[in-house]
Amino acid sequence: MHRRFFLIGAAALGGCASVPASPTVATRPVTLDAAFVGQKRGQGVFRVWLTGDERRFDARLDGRLSRGGQRLTVVEDFVYDDGQTDRLTWVFDRSGPGLWTGRREDTVGAAQVVEQDGEVRLTYTADFRSPSGVTRLGFADVIYLRDDGVIVNDAVVSRAGFPIGSVRFEIRG
């Protein structure tokens, strides 16, 4: 009996996407640096699929290029709906045409970035802090620029290799 529930649960989780789909709305091409250079504000929501729980947040971003455009530093100031605040800083280094690697205080290893077909794909593992503690999560993001000028970051979130939720973060200049 327990084995049947495990197999059904594993099949259901396996049916969930492990990477976000490309956008279905009209978009314009975007690169990592074009998306994040300058001061921006955004709102987002983290959703856990199984429980339906949500955690909303606001963020201020400040992105700057250095080293002749080869390094992008993005300071992120978060305020969550439960009052928690956090400051995280991404440092991305260009590693080739359309390729970047990055690190942030909470990442485990390096993040990988690929700019392709007018969108940005970002994958990384991070130790995510919440009021209940720290959880190691995998993120697979697609970043795109809608025709209305809003930058959208959609992510599938995994734990121990299984997709468990999503993040949608909309950024305005």
Structural domain total, the chain:
1
Q: What SS3 state is found at 9?
A: helix
Q: What is the value of pTM for the model shown?
A: 0.86
| Domain coverage including residue 25 | 2-172
Q: What SS3 state is found at 6?
A: helix
- Does residue 93 surpass a pLDDT of 50? yes
- Does residue 8 surpass a pLDDT of 60? no
User: What would the two tokens of residue 49 be?
Assistant: 């699929």
10-32 per-position pLDDT tens digit: 434 444 457 888 888 889 999 99
The reported pLDDT for the residue numbered 22 is: 81
Confidence of residue 65 (pLDDT cuts 50, 70, 90): very high
The reported pLDDT for the residue numbered 10 is: 41
CATH code, 143: 2.40.128.20
The reported pLDDT for the residue numbered 107 is: 97
- Does residue 112 surpass a pLDDT of 90? yes
Question: Between 133 and 60, whose confidence is greater?
Answer: 60
The answer to whether residues 110 and 90 touch, using CB atoms and an 8 Å cutoff, is no
Strands (E), the chain: 27-28, 38-48, 54-66, 71-80, 85-96, 99-103, 111-116, 119-130, 133-146, 151-159, 162-172
Which of 86, 41, 46 lies closest to 61, judged by CA? 41
